[in-house]
């Protein structure tokens, strides 16, 4: 068996190796149903009248064996099995076994771990699961119950995470930052360090305004509060030796990770084919819903940033987004972005998934011209602002 990622030395002062474990990946979203009811779920399209905008989600109900085989033939080496909650799919074990038989180097299971009994985890690991991304959006049981709309499941999830680690599966924790947990980020990091010493890393995400999340925009935290608490949480990660990742596609812009830029892998943006292969349809859908502010033109990371969700700016304003000044440290870490060294024409094509003439910049710093499209968000905006 290859060396587990969680056993490798982690140096928080060392830049993230962009090539470490980087394999072309594709997702099999084998169902949309879930036994949790998280209000920010972007995959709950089975509740909606319109079709999903994520091209990958349109594959729900496919011939999954045929789909996996086709992905393998196209050269994909990593397969992510997701949902909904994939462990409630009746054929989850046969599908994992089939994926393993095709020779995928990595089979990642995205799960809420609610079904992670000792027997189930053992069977999943034996079937071929190498990695798991577990949704754990709070370390406080009361907040966990509120987010997931469950009771009595928290302990099962915590035990399930430990069981995956014990079986040698690389465990990553997914933490979506919302209004209900934004003040607890530092304590969350401490909890994860204490309870899951063998985990691989924590992935911090922003809400994505799709499906159920679009109806619950009022739980989107005000960005200045995110920035303050997020900075403290990342500092705590470094202090405790907890590896973390800020997803450059679905997370926060680089102006939120000041001092930790070297731990962010921008290659999902600058070289999306290296992660997603030739099919960038799902990536395009996400990035085309983001915009930049006029002030972003002065940011060091502007050539490799899609901005933030336009839906947030429409509701809550622009506070919290600030340009990052060029420093020699950043220029050395990201020489390809240094506009003082590289002419504009060399960096002009870094963001390759935009449509021609696509609207990507807000014209001003005010909200007067915007409609208020979500009733749920109007009252919430008054509360937060």
CA distance linking residue 82 with residue 129, whole number of Å = 12
Nearest one of 321, 291, 285 to 307, comparing CA atoms: 291
Q: How far apart are CA 273 and CA 357, in angstroms?
A: 22
pLDDT at 133: 98
Identify the H or E element spanning 81: strand 78-82
Q: Residue count of the chain, please give it.
A: 385
User: Can you say how many angstroms the Cα of residue 279 is from the centroid of all Cα atoms in its chain?
Assistant: 18
Provide Rg for the chain, Cα atoms.
20
User: Residues 6 or more apart from 200 whose CB is under 8 A from it?
Assistant: 5, 6, 131, 170, 171, 172, 243
pLDDT of residue 275: 65
Q: Would you state the pLDDT for residue 213?
A: 85
**Domains in the chain, ordered, with CATH?**
5-276 (3.20.20.70)
pLDDT, position 303: 86
Classified as helix, coil or strand, 108 is strand
Going from the first residue of the chain to its last (385 residues), give the mean pLDDT of each consecutive group of 10, the final group possibly shorter: 46 57 79 91 63 47 89 93 93 97 97 96 98 98 96 97 98 97 98 97 90 88 95 96 81 90 77 68 71 91 88 89 95 87 51 52 47 37 35
The per-residue pLDDT for 248 is 63
Name the H helices within the chain: 64-73, 92-101, 118-127, 141-148, 154-166, 185-195, 211-215, 223-240, 267-270, 273-276, 281-287, 310-316, 328-333, 344-347, 375-384
Q: Which of 284, 260, 275 is nearest to 351 (CA)?
A: 284
As beta bridge partners, residue 132 has: 109, 171
The reply to whether omega before 129 is within 30° of 0 (cis) is no
Q: Confirm whether pTM is higher than 0.75.
A: yes
Query: Is residue 61 helix, strand or coil?
Result: coil
Task: Find the angle CA(345)-CA(336)-CA(227) to the nearest 5 degrees.
Answer: 115
pLDDT score for 274 = 66
Is the CB of residue 255 less than 8 Å from the CB of residue 304? no
Report yes or no: 76 and 105 within 8 Å, Cβ to Cβ: no
């Amino acid at each position: 068996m290859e060396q587990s990622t969680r056993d490798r030395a982690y140096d928080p002062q060392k830049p993230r190796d962009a090539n470490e474990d980087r394999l072309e990946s594709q997702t099999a979203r084998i169902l949309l149903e879930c036994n949790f009811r998280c209000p920010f779920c972007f995959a709950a399209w089975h509740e909606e009248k319109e079709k999903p905008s994520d091209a990958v989600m349109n594959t729900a109900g496919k011939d999954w064996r045929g789909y996996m085989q086709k992905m393998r033939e196209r050269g994909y080496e990593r397969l992510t099995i997701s949902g909904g909650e994939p462990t409630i799919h009746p054929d989850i074990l046969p599908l994992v076994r089939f994926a393993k038989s095709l020779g995928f180097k990595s089979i990642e299971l995205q799960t809420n771990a609610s079904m992670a009994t000792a027997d189930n985890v053992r069977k999943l690991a034996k079937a071929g699961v190498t990695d798991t991304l577990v949704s754990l959006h709070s370390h406080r049981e009361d907040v966990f119950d509120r987010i997931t709309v469950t009771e009595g499941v928290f302990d099962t999830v915590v035990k399930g995470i430990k069981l995956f680690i014990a079986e040698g599966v690389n465990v990553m924790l997914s933490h979506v930052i919302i209004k209900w947990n934004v003040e607890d980020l530092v304590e969350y990091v401490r909890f994860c360090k204490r309870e899951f010493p063998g985990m691989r890393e924590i992935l911090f995400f922003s809400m994505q305004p799709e499906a159920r999340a679009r109806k619950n925009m009022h739980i989107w935290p005000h960005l200045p509060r995110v920035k303050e608490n997020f900075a403290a949480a990342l500092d705590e990660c470094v202090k405790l030796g907890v590896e973390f990742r800020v997803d450059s596609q679905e997370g926060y812009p680089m102006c939120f990770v000041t001092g930790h830029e070297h731990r962010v892998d921008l290659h999902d943006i600058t070289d999306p084919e290296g992660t997603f292969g030739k099919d960038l349809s799902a990536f395009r859908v996400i990035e085309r819903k983001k915009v930049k502010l006029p002030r972003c033109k002065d940011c060091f990371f502007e050539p490799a940033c899609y901005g933030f969700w336009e839906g947030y700016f429409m509701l809550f304003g622009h506070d919290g987004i600030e340009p990052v000044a060029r420093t020699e440290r950043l220029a050395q870490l990201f020489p390809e972005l240094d506009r003082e060294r590289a002419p504009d024409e060399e960096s002009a094509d870094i963001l390759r998934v935009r449509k021609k003439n696509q609207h990507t910049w807000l014209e001003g710093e005010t909200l007067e011209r915007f409609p208020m499209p979500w009733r749920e968000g109007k009252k919430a905006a008054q509360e937060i602002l």
